[in-house]
Amino acid sequence: MILATYFDGRTSRAQPVRLAVEAGEAVLFEPEGTVLRRAPLSTLRVSERVKHAPRLITFEDGAFCEINDPAEQTSLNALLHRTGYREGWVVLAQNSWKLALGSLLAMVVVLALGYRYGLPWGAKVVANMVPQRAEAQLGRSTLKAMDERWLRPSKLPVAQQDRIRARFAALHRPPQATHTYHIVFRDADIGANAFALPGGDIVVTDALVKLVGEGDGLTGVLAHEAGHVEYRHGLRQVIQSSAIGATAALLFGDVSTILSGVPAALLTLRYSRDYERDADRYAALLLQENGLSVGAFADVLQALEDTHGGTRKAEAAKKPEAASDDDASAFFSSHPLTRERIDTLRRFDRTHGGSDSGEAD
């Protein structure tokens, strides 16, 4: 028999009892041997086995037995085993360091696979469900926030801006293209750059136009950003980066922090290798379809690499430990090296018989 303490569930009085199993029933005996109560085993609830915690056997009416002594708990475990009671895998894992370690490793693997494959897949599904009107509204509100915090009105002549817009608008686009593009020019401290916002806004900095001119190379940059828009890369990245925050928002009801962080997330966005490759191929095919030079686009990337590379070298001279950032971080980063992209575009240009069209000043 197992020594336990009985509580009737109506009062706080504790009563010492002995527990036994007879003919499929749990029987409680008082100290003098009188039967206190009986109950079929199938009607009882047994608490999980947790180290240093009491075991509880609860009856249907709320009464329960408490078993505190470790030796008595061991006897209870043996008794339960003889009656056919089996503990769940969670309990077994909690009481076995091998199972606990295995469960922890399995959880890490599941989380890693979810982050690597599940999250991008889920972001793509969700992004494709977002109406284009809502996507465009997100892009407009993001541009407004950027204008208030980081961007300044363009200093480029209006006529030059119009020529660039007209040149891009004249492109023959693939039939599956669904977005309407708005090219906006801004002066900014981010140097020669261009980036796409969800919905179709493509931001081009004055420094980029001054660096590469108005020809095929700049058109290639715009086509590359259009590829990001068509594949909804920006929206998918925002969904991925906001996934944890969105979960917290659903739990706690505060979405303001997430929404306020969208502009900064888009401005500092670094697309994955696959995203950049998709956008590069979209641009290359669009340029080829319109008889423009893919090689000129590669030349622009080289010019950008040279410009930003010079900036990195200047910073490295001030901070030597940053000198190897470009090569070292490339190994760990999902963002492809610019020279890899340049080589791919030049191979495409050679394979498809590059156009004679060149850069216009």
pLDDT digits (tens, 9 = 90+) for 110-149: 877 776 667 677 777 777 777 888 888 888 998 999 999 8
Q: What is the pLDDT of residue 152?
A: 95
Q: Which residue has the higher pLDDT, 53 or 154?
A: 154
Last-in-domain residue among 69, 104, 129: 129
Which of 21-30, 42-51, 88-97, 219-228 has maximum average pLDDT? 219-228
The mean of the pLDDT values for the chain is: 80
Domain identity same for 165 and 223:
yes
Look at residue 164 and tell me whether its pLDDT is greater than 90.
yes
Q: Where among 65, 87, 109 does a domain terminate?
A: 87
pLDDT average, residue stretch 182-202? 93
With cut-offs at 50, 70 and 90, classify the pLDDT of residue 315.
low
Of 86 and 132, the structure prediction assigns the larger pLDDT to: 132
Q: What is the pLDDT of residue 93?
A: 58
- Do 55 and 179 reside in the same domain of the chain? no
| The pLDDT of residue 220 is above 50 | yes
Of the two residues 111 and 201, the one the predictor is more confident about is 201
**Residue range(s) defining the domain that contains residue 34:** 2-87
177/138 Cα distance (integer angstroms): 19
For range 246-265, the mean pLDDT: 52
Same structural domain, 156 and 233: yes
Rounded to an integer, the average pLDDT of 241-255 is: 57
Lowest mean pLDDT among 44-48, 108-112, 276-280, 312-316: 312-316
Q: What local confidence, expressed as pLDDT, does residue 129 receive?
A: 78
For residue 212, pLDDT over 90 is answered with yes
If asked whether residues 169 and 265 sit together in one domain, one would say yes
pLDDT at 286 over 80: yes
Three-class secondary structure of residue 80 per DSSP: helix
In a domain, 282, yes or no: yes
* Residues 60-74 pLDDT 10s: 999 999 998 888 888
Residues 109 and 144 in one domain: no
* Amino acid letter, 333: S
Please check whether residues 198 and 275 belong to one and the same domain: yes
The pLDDT, as a whole number, for residue 217 is: 95
360 is a domain residue: no
Q: Is residue 356 part of a domain?
A: no
User: 169-187, pLDDT tens digit by residue?
Assistant: 999 988 777 888 999 999 9
Question: What is the pLDDT at residue 128?
Answer: 75
What is the pLDDT, as a whole number, of residue 186? 97
Confidence of residue 224 (pLDDT cuts 50, 70, 90): very high
Instruction: Write the CB contacts of 205 (distance below 8 Å, at least 6 apart in sequence).
Output: 185, 186, 187, 188, 190, 191, 192, 193, 194
Quote the pTM value: 0.61
Q: What is the pLDDT of residue 153?
A: 96
- Residue 46: pLDDT band (50, 70, 90) is confident
Query: In the β-sheet with 25-29, what is the strand arrangement from edge to edge?
Result: 35-40, 25-29, 15-22, 2-7, 64-67, 55-58, 45-46
Pair (183, 331) in one structural domain? yes
- 5's CB contacts (< 8 A; 6+ apart) are 14, 15, 16, 17, 65, 66, 67, 68
In this predicted structure, the answer to whether residue 166 has a pLDDT above a threshold of 80 is yes
Chain-centre distance for alpha carbon 359: 39
**Residue 159 falls within a domain, yes or no?**
yes
Same domain for 80 and 184? no
pLDDT of 335 higher than 50: no
122 plus 205 within the same structural domain:
no
CA distances (Å), origin 245, targets 145, 182, 239, 307: 20, 30, 10, 36
Q: How far apart are CA 271 and CA 228, in angstroms?
A: 9
Q: What integer is the mean pLDDT of 332-355?
A: 74
Among residues 185, 197, 192, 199, the alpha carbon closest in space to that of 151 is found at: 185
Residues 146 and 110 in one domain: no
Residue 285 lies in a domain: yes
Is 222 within the bounds of a domain?
yes
pLDDT at 49 over 90: no
Predicted local confidence at residue 13, as pLDDT: 92
Residue 239: pLDDT band with limits 50, 70, 90: confident
103 and 70, same domain (yes or no): no
Specify if 329 maps to a domain: yes
The answer to whether residue 269 sits within a structural domain is yes
Question: 79, 109, 129 — which closes off a domain?
Answer: 129
Structural domains counted in the chain? 3
pLDDT score, position 75? 87
